[in-house]
Structure 1
Amino acid sequence: MLPSVSAAEEYVRPPPRPPVVIVEHDKPASHPQQLHISTVGASSMRISWVTEDRSAQSVVDYGISPGKYTASETGYHTTYQFLSYKSGAIHHVTIGPLEPSTTYYYRCGKAGDEFSLRTPPATLPIEFIIIGDVGQTGWTASTLSHIGAAGYDILLLPGDLSYADTRQELWDLWGRLVQPLASSRPWMVTAGNHERETLREPKLRRFVAYNSRWRMPHEESGSRSNLYYSFDAAAGAVHVVMLGSYTEFEEGSEQHAWLERDLAAVDRRRTPWLVVLMHVPWYSTNRSHQGEGESMRRAMERLLYKAHVDVVFAAHIHAYERFTRIFDNEADSQGPMYITIGDGGNSNAHKFIGDHKSAHLSMFREASFGHGLLRIVNETSAVWTWHSNDDEYTTIRDEVWLKSLASAESALPTNAGRHTEEL
């Protein structure tokens, strides 16, 4: 087992850069903005966008050639109010069926620009970009730039998107910031604490902006809440579960019962890879938010272990940390690997606890901004790389190969030059 990083080796990133300055939307009120897409079912995509004109059409025209639209779908729009803020029309349209690994060109609302998206592959390999706690700083812009240069299929974001924190205009700014990436590949997200937007106002609903703007396929996965859901990728070779850290999760709760049903329905002979994401980590040696995930861990960890979940990603801590395979605070070759990836760009948590009870389980940690790439190569093997955000460059600082728990017992860790392991 590789030793965890000592206090003397900890990397300290400079203070966060100022907020990104976004050019205000200067197009006509009917012009679509803040586009993002998400997967729905086996072969469909949901396209979401905002218009200042609340009477704009909720329609998407699309095809496989630029400017030539051979299909059209109509959806709906919603609005919300938060204190004095009134949202524009938030449109959601599902298009499909779509062919895998295919580029589609589309136009929203019969107005504005043409966009293109590429559908995920129907077979392995498949690549997932994973980032958390994104925000709107200069480091965010660097991270997004690095992601834009990567050839990924789906982006997974386990919470803390815009850091609007009741300032609803920041949702609009953030939507425009991520649009170049989110309009071209599916972005699958779950909520963090900064999506709650709570005030001491009994009439204000939690997660109202998040639920209105970022609609995920919860109904398709049998969930009654947009805060937790699941979906399949690569024709069911990968099952991804997105959990809600800020909704009831105790035994007897709706989320707990849903998770038990969802995991029980996964046939590991057909689905060799099982990936779980949530906002608050269950294992962390960072001083920031220490112990906040313990009650959820006690309630749900056994369900994940019983289902042989391969890897669990969390955010919340603004640093990177990777643990070995664990169950109930002990190394276990049949438990999930736990990775904290809350270093998308919003501030920095650089204080780790050297003598933490889980320090011997921590394989690598660094308080740097960055992103991760999970490449599932085939039914038995996957590789995880963490890319440190080093100004205009990106550097692979951590790498580990995983074997599917559905196929074989994990190999013992081996060191191979750069911080590389096999689990």
Structure 2
Amino acid sequence: MKTILHCDANNFYASVECIGRPDLQGVPVAVCGDPQKRHGIILAKNNIAKKFGVKTAETINSAMNKCPNLKLVAPHFEKYVDVSNQIFDIYKEYTDKVESFGIDEGWLDVTPSVKLFGEGAKIADELRRRVKKEIGLTISVGVSFTKIFAKLGSDMKKPDATTVISRENYRQKIWPLPANEMLMVGRHTYATLLSLGIHTIGDLANADEKLLARKMGINGAKLISYARGEEGEDVREYYNGRVHKSIGHSTTTPKDVTSRDECAAVITALSEMVAARLRKANSKASGISVSLRYNDLTHRSRQCLISPATDSAGRIAEESLALLDTFYREGRDKPLRGLGVSVFDLNEEGDAVQASLFELQKEDEKSSGLARSIDAIRSKYGFDSIKSATLIKNMCVCDDLDGDSDFLPFNKR
């Protein structure tokens, strides 16, 4: 049985700002764009500020009304990257299998390490102690036998806590949680589950496999497996080069993106690039991930599973936009300077398709011939030789979207 940790740095940005600042100890602190002029929004806050009701993305004036003694500090992005690397360097002393999940959290597979350092909970406690002593931050750690359960565990107790999700207690601790708290359950998937009377992770674990297979294909079986705590994905080594079995593109936009229409244009372009590479590799994908990078360099990302697997740009864009709508709020979120679309769970084009999904598969195949013709034209004359109306309408954010291939949510060093 595997031993997997999920480590999450508590209130990372605000906590980093408090390092070496005695004047910020024990007081409510918020990171914002312009502390002197006191206009703009709250980018991050510490636990004390949170107790006063201060929220990320609210205006500084609103936060000050709730908490008049709130200490405002400017962000220092290079420092965040440096501290993050220091934390991950500590993690790497215990295992070479460290998977970054953003600047402030990640998974560690310590299965081989327990012989050297003790059981998972002991390693987790030692990591918490070391990060606190050597860096001055607290982390919460989930210890479990799958990545999904470890992530849920780290969310249960904050700050500075270790939560063990074992084979003996996961039914009591995990199964009562809403199904959409589980990774890979996006808005559309959750809506489908609710329509089937599946509200909690426990409901999902005990769901009718044949019914879910008819509704969701092979991904229905995967979700049931995750909810039951059966063997899941391995911890991927983001430090050792490319993440295999995934294809992605990300880009930095030439200007701040502040509307959903602009987001949709960029995501459409990235989806077309990803789909073209899928077709070139004769592969289709069953998983989609969308990553956002804000103008303060913070990141957020969401993932979901789809059925049947696809290489269609339209399908990838549609699912990516559905993911976007679960966590991007036009007019309320910080401006964006980077977006990414990635696909994973790749399989060969000839793999079998669930009969119940035949109609959707036929639609993908119908568009595939046209897509390959477009690929050929773009290969000869360049990506810009054929553009959709969406891209033309939003040229200001879609010009020169070469971006980076096989993007990661956060590139370490």
Does the TM-score normalized on the shorter chain lie above 0.5?
A: no
| Structure with more helix by fraction | 2
| Structure with more strand by fraction | 1
- TM-score (normalised: structure 1): 0.30
- TM-score (normalised: structure 2): 0.31
Task: Give the number of the structure whose alpha-carbon radius of gyration is greater.
Answer: 2
